[in-house]
Amino acid sequence: MGFSLEFTSSLGLVAAFTAALQVKPLRIDLNTEIPRLMSLVANSRLPAKALYPNGGSGERGIELDVLQELRTDWLTKFDWDAQQTELNTFKQFTAIIEGLNVHVVHEKSADPDAIPVILLHGWPSSFQEFLPVIKPLTESWRSPSGKNISFNVVVPSLPGFVFSDPALPNWTLDDTVRIMNTLMVDVLGYSTYALHGTDWGSGVGYAQYGTYNTTVRAAHFVFIPFFPPLAQDIAENGISLSDDEKVILQRTIDWNATGNNYFLEQAAKAGDTQAACPPNDVGLALYDSPTGQLAWIGSKFKVWSDPRAGTPPSALDNTAILTSVSLYYLTDSFLSSVWIYGQNTSAFRATYAKAPTDAPLLFSQYEYNFGLWPKEFVAKVGNLVSYKFHNFGGHFAGLDNPPAFIQDIRDIGLYFEA
Ligand SMILES: *[C@@H]1O[C@H](CO)[C@@H](O)[C@H](O)[C@H]1NC(C)=O
Ligand SMILES: *[C@@H]1O[C@H](CO)[C@@H](O)[C@H](O)[C@H]1NC(C)=O
Ligand SMILES: *[C@@H]1O[C@H](CO)[C@@H](O)[C@H](O)[C@H]1NC(C)=O
Ligand SMILES: *[C@@H]1O[C@H](CO)[C@@H](O)[C@H](O)[C@H]1NC(C)=O
Ligand SMILES: *[C@@H]1O[C@H](CO)[C@@H](O)[C@H](O)[C@H]1NC(C)=O
């Protein structure tokens, strides 16, 4: 695979590894697929009026008028060209790691002391979730004590998501964890680094935090792979909640009661008693239906974000949702993305246990996420040094409240020691 030295240095790669890993720059060009996508959307039908009530806050699924508005925006306002141009303002490459083609955004700071940080997304999002924060994080921030803090930002696409290859059938999260560490250490040459994880990315990141405890030297999460405690556990631990925390506790209860059926659906396999359908059913049913994917994925973006989403400082508007769904459809990712549930059904645990590491752990609770993890519970799983509560923003923090998220990551610099 040919590539020039000039190119490898602009991507900041370790030259010795680039040949074996077949590193190639990526410039996104999905234009030839757009007419087909748009004609499928245009020819899709939705009911003329809602036959069944939604129930108020999404517990019966996406509202028809919300879906209609998103679909209309897709057809009349959405400009793929503009989105693609924006995506291409980020330096990206693909590399073959253990036989799997992995897509990576890598933006470096001008500061030689910048901290390497890997940002790990979940489902149903992609590297796109972090676009508003990448460039600001490469810029210097002066801490109150006069320290300059900036980052070399690495945003991979998890296996099965957008430009990364689908995971092999026998793949598990532990395989993802290993190739993410290889990416940071061997491909990019960072002997130590920090990480951030959300959703499935927190499953990957938390395992990476414990497994690679000499290379991962700080971690920040907005979500941890432990089931959030419900009211009774919280009371038994003698924790009293603020009014803001009660909002998110209610969201946690709702998620556990009715909001997690997608999880059971996507995770199910033979022998499970709780769910009727394995991931292939939803994966293949919606495979060639962009409007179907919009309903399934759009519902999560709507229900899991702040009710004020789309108003400042949130960047999670209809365009962001449509870009995300377009990326899934255009890269054939829907089926392989839902398989992440089927491949590690026990990744989210009920029993809290501490990771074997002394590396600092930072946590930020966003009020409109769908899980509340009180400080006392987060402290059970790692070396908790910072716990913050944000009353604006939800599950997709990088889009839902970029300024708060940027500060969350910058706080890593207060604790990181290479
Ligand atoms: C911080 O960065 C500024 C601007 O790049 C520079 O002038 C200053 O000397 C740096 N301070 C420290 C403590 O490194
Ligand atoms: C998974 O499957 C691949 C391809 O068939 C094979 O090379 C690999 O050894 C398998 N891994 C495990 C852990 O079984
Ligand atoms: C979640 O809800 C189920 C009932 O659907 C209940 O049995 C379970 O205890 C709840 N989970 C937690 C952690 O309380
Ligand atoms: C994935 O699942 C396997 C088998 O259930 C488990 O041993 C492993 O710890 C899980 N990995 C992660 C990162 O949760
Ligand atoms: C890393 O993990 C190993 C194995 O669990 C443990 O022995 C070691 O003390 C840990 N190192 C740090 C720096 O936490």
366 is an active site residue: no
- Selected catalytic residue, list 165, 390, 395, 408: 395
Q: Which ligand is nearest to the Cα of residue 348, counting in written order?
A: 4
| CA-nearest residue, atom 7 of ligand 5 | 356
Q: Which ligand is nearest to the Cα of residue 382, counting in written order?
A: 5
- Selected catalytic residue, list 190, 206, 341, 366: 341
| pLDDT of 148 | 96
CB 291 within 8 A of CB 41: yes
Q: Which ligand is nearest to the Cα of residue 214, counting in written order?
A: 5
Ligand 2 close to Cβ of residue 168 (< 6 A): yes
Q: How far is the CA of 357 from the centre of ligand 5 (A)?
A: 5
Q: What is the DSSP letter of 341?
A: H
If one counts every other C-beta atom within 10 angstroms of the C-beta of residue 24, the result is 18
Please enumerate in sequence order all residues whose Cβ is within 8 A of that of 335, keeping only pairs 6 or more positions apart, or say none.
166, 279, 280, 283, 284, 287
Q: Which atom of ligand 4 is nearest to the CA of 176?
A: 13
Please enumerate in sequence order all residues whose Cβ is within 8 A of that of 305, keeping only pairs 6 or more positions apart, or say none.
314, 316, 368, 393, 394, 395, 396, 399, 400
Ligand 1 close to Cβ of residue 139 (< 6 A): no
Is 173 strand, coil or helix? helix
Q: Which atom of ligand 5 is nearest to the CA of 358?
A: 14
- Selected catalytic residue, list 165, 199, 306, 400: 199
Q: Which atom of ligand 3 is nearest to the CA of 227?
A: 13
| pLDDT of 18 | 57
| pLDDT of 6 | 35
Sign of CA dihedral 305, 307, 310, 311: negative
Ligand 4 close to Cβ of residue 201 (< 6 A): no
Ligand 4 close to Cβ of residue 346 (< 6 A): yes
| CA-nearest residue, atom 4 of ligand 1 | 140
The structure's pTM equals 0.93
Query: For residue 7, how far is the Cα from the chain centroid?
Result: 28
174 is an active site residue: no
Q: Which ligand is nearest to the Cα of residue 357, counting in written order?
A: 5
What residue ranges line ligand 5, CB within 6 angstroms? 213, 356-358
| pLDDT of 21 | 82
Q: Which of 147, 148, 149 has most ligand 1 atoms within 8 Å of its beta carbon, as the pocket-test mutant?
A: 148
Q: How far is the CA of 364 from the centre of ligand 5 (A)?
A: 25
Alpha carbons 368 and 284: distance in angstroms, whole number: 31
CB 306 within 8 A of CB 368: yes
Q: How far is the CA of 50 from the centre of ligand 5 (A)?
A: 56
pLDDT digit of tens for each residue in the chain (418 aa)? 233 333 444 455 555 455 568 899 999 999 999 999 999 999 999 998 888 776 656 667 888 999 999 999 999 999 999 999 999 999 999 999 999 999 999 999 999 999 999 999 999 999 999 999 999 999 999 999 999 999 999 999 999 999 999 999 899 999 999 999 999 999 999 999 999 999 999 999 999 999 999 999 999 999 999 999 989 999 999 999 999 999 999 988 888 876 666 676 666 655 554 444 568 888 999 999 999 999 999 999 998 999 999 999 999 999 999 999 999 999 999 999 998 888 887 888 999 999 999 999 999 999 999 999 999 999 999 999 999 999 999 999 999 999 999 999 999 999 999 8
The closest of 340, 322, 331, 401 to 369, measured between CA atoms, is 401
Residue type, 385: V
Alpha carbons 178 and 227: distance in angstroms, whole number: 24
| pLDDT of 392 | 98
- The domains located in the chain, with CATH, are 12-28+88-230+348-414 (3.40.50.1820)
